[in-house]
Amino acid sequence: EHFDIVEMANEVLDQFENKVEKKGLYIGFDQEYNHPIFVYADSEKIYRVLTNLVSNANKYTDEGDIILGFTVSSGGHVTVSVKDTGMGIPPEDLGRVFERFFRVEKSRSKGRKGGTGLGLAIVKHIMEAHNSKVSVISTFGKGSTFSFKLPLSKEEDLDSTDDDEFESED
């Protein structure tokens, strides 16, 4: 369905703010977003994607910030990114973090960072169901940026009473 991804990201931010600030980290946007960005996607699933990515950013960052951003492209899409200044991912593991149960050795040995290694596999699965994908750029020891792309919905579609007829062109 149609929803405002900026509003959703604000909800996710509110949900994590206390936890993140308790660690001495900052969470915010890369710029001010005063206007909604309407997308066409499964809102519950995308909420899950955002919370899994922000939860990881928080879990694997000891200092610095977690920055959310949106880039609207001319092709009618928006790229949503979650950037952190955390421990990063070793290059040899970058291709494996979306596998079920895979965890970077370092995150496994440090008991304080528990987890099952499913969060990113779920994110990947959800993006595939949206005919999209999630990608990661990371520098080991410096930080990571996860991003995914969603189709924009035209404002006209928002008033449509017959949303079920909507089909994407590609």
Strand order in the sheet with 143-151: 26-29, 65-73, 77-84, 143-151, 134-139
Beta bridge partners of 2: 40
Q: 36 or 114, CB closer to ligand ATP? A: 114
Distance, CA of 153 to CA of 145 (rounded, Å): 25
Stretch that binds ligand ATP, among 2-10, 26-34, 51-59, 153-161 (CB under 6 A): 51-59
The option from Mg ion, ligand ATP, none interacting with 38 (CB < 5 to 8 A, set by class) reads: none
Judged by CB under 5 A, the residue of 8, 12, 40, 56 near Mg ion is: 56
Residue 80 tokens, joined:
């949503």
The option from ligand ATP, Mg ion, none interacting with 89 (CB < 5 to 8 A, set by class) reads: ligand ATP
Q: Contact letters (x/-) for ligand ATP, 117-136, by CB under 6 A?
A: xxxxx---------------
Q: 50 or 78, CB closer to Mg ion? A: 50
- DSSP class of 2: E
Stretch that binds ligand ATP, among 26-34, 36-44, 69-77, 113-121 (CB under 6 A): 113-121
* Minimum CB distance to Mg ion, residue 96 (Å): 14
- DSSP class of 67: E
Q: Which helix (H) or strand (E) holds 120?
A: helix 119-129
SS3 assignment for 79-132 = EEEEEECCCCCCHHHHHHCCCCCCCCHHHHHCCCCCCCCCHHHHHHHHHHHCCC
Q: 86 or 119, CB closer to Mg ion? A: 119
Helix ranges (DSSP H) in 67-118: 105-109
Q: 2 or 83, CB closer to ligand ATP? A: 83
Q: 119 or 151, CB closer to Mg ion? A: 119
Binding site for ligand ATP (CB under 6 A): 56-57, 59-60, 84, 86-89, 97, 102-104, 107, 115-121, 144
